[in-house]
A and B are shown apart, each in its own frame.
Chain A
Amino acid sequence: MNRASDGNERRRRFDALCTALRPDLFRFAFWLSRDRAIAEDVVQETLLRAWRAMDELRDEKAARQWLLTIARREHARLYERKRLPTVDVDELIEREEPLLAAPDELELQDVRRALFRLDEAYREPLVLQVLMGYSTEEIARHMGLKVGAVLTRLFRARHQLREMLAGETRAPLPAARLERT
């Protein structure tokens, strides 16, 4: 195979990956940054890095985890490099209102606002589990944490979310069963 067709094949593989995985990549970056513009920058930087390192991806089934790991580092790098100022969460919510309250998804607005208020340490594992379908072990590897720490964060994430969602109704625990056996 000559160099041009090698290049074409590489480009074809890359385009196929981008088409399939860009939505996941954007959503992951968006929930890390809570900022659409930053998420789009992270996606672009991630794809550029992935393009340069494409030869190292031997198993395309692992492509999503590979891209999300690169995105995580790109997000951290962007904050290091640009020294982005800390923004008040209410300001972030206001700025991203069009995305948080799309006309056909108004009933999700309160959950999204609560997610915005959730600490990043809890939000990231929750996104990986719920949206990306990661197992607890995969989240632990991705975040460099122990499995126990991930379980704790996942529990606290849901607990805090439900606390924030005032309208959420919960069946109370039967008092007699609250004690551990």
Chain B
Amino acid sequence: MNCLDYRRNLETEPGRVTPEMQAHVQTCAECSAWSAGLRAFEARLQRALAVGVPAAKALELPALSTPPARRFALAAGVLGAIGIAALAWFSFPRETLAAELVAHVEEEPQSWSTTEPVPEPTLDEVLRRSQVSAHFPPGSVTYARSCRFRGHLVPHLVVHDEQGSVTVLILDAEKVSAKTSFSEEGMSGVILPAAHGSIAVLSREGAPVDAIAERMREALGS
């Protein structure tokens, strides 16, 4: 290792000193002095980044379940709104479903960062909970959770296909009459009718979701 490589490596990852770098700095006085300067710079940088944090603002958290006492009061309002809501629903059902799918996927960002295949028993359990049967290529599923979506427990999977990674949600309770494509919040996706309900396939990497969705539908035996 020469001085240039040593300095470039240390300047890129100051916390990572390999045995080769260690060997170099022990024999190079210039780089040893330079390293001390870099360490001082790093300490200063760290302090500079740690700006003061203002006091926390009050955070009003929405209730996640409706208390029984309020249900009757809410029911009247809900019934009154049903006519308008139904009109909106039937006018834009797919847009609403797509937006909710994107919001749901965004709330599980860790789903994209896992790379280890999900063990088959885990995947089977996730599918079983929603009474879904599917056959994915071994090792292709890297994320599998049972998620609550629109009141139903749905399998939320990340599947590595030869054309890219996609998020798949199997929506047995969501019936759609035709294929719908959408693009929201930097994600592209498609919702396809399936034997029971529908299947949603989303990608944030520009993967060809139409082609992959067809293969996912085949995996579901639809």
Chain A partners chain B: yes
Q: Which residues of A contact B (CB under 8 A)?
A: 3, 7, 10-11, 14, 18, 22-23, 26-27, 30-31, 36, 40, 44, 47-49, 51-53, 55-56, 62, 65-66, 69-70, 73, 76-77, 99-100, 102, 105, 107-108, 111-112, 115, 126-127, 129-131, 136, 141-142, 144, 151, 154-155, 158-159, 161-162, 168-171, 173-174, 177-181
Task: With A65-B110, A111-B44, A173-B7 given, name 18 new contacts (CB 8 A).
Answer: A49-B106, A52-B107, A55-B148, A69-B110, A70-B109, A127-B49, A131-B50, A142-B113, A151-B12, A154-B12, A161-B45, A162-B41, A174-B30, A177-B2, A178-B3, A179-B2, A180-B4, A180-B5
A177 touches B48 (CB 8 A): no
| Stretch in contact with the other chain, from B52-60, B79-87, B133-141 | B52-60
* In the complex, chain B residues whose CB is within 8 Å of the CB of A56: 107-108, 145, 147
B-side interface residues, number (CB < 8 Å): 48
Q: Which residues of B contact A65 (CB under 8 A)?
A: 110, 113
* Residues in A neighbouring B2, C-beta threshold 8 A: 177, 179-181
Residues of B within 8 A of A52 (CB): 62, 64, 107
User: CB-CB < 8 A to A177: which residues of B?
Assistant: 2-4, 28, 30
Residues of B near any A CB (own CB < 8 A):
2-5, 7-8, 11-13, 28, 30, 33-34, 37, 41-42, 44-54, 56-57, 59, 61-62, 64-65, 106-110, 112-113, 145, 147-148, 185-186, 204-205
B62 neighbours in A (Cβ, 8 Å)? 48, 51-52
Q: List, in ascending order, chain A residues with CB within 8 A of B49's CB.
A: 27, 31, 115, 127, 130-131
A residues near B47, Cβ cutoff 8 Å? 105, 108
* Chain A proximity of B97: nearest CB distance (Å): 18
* Given A130-B42, A154-B12, A99 contacting B51 (CB threshold 8 A): yes
B46's partner among A100, A130, A168 (CB-CB below 8 A) is A130
Give A130 to B75 CA distance when docked, in angstroms. Answer: 52
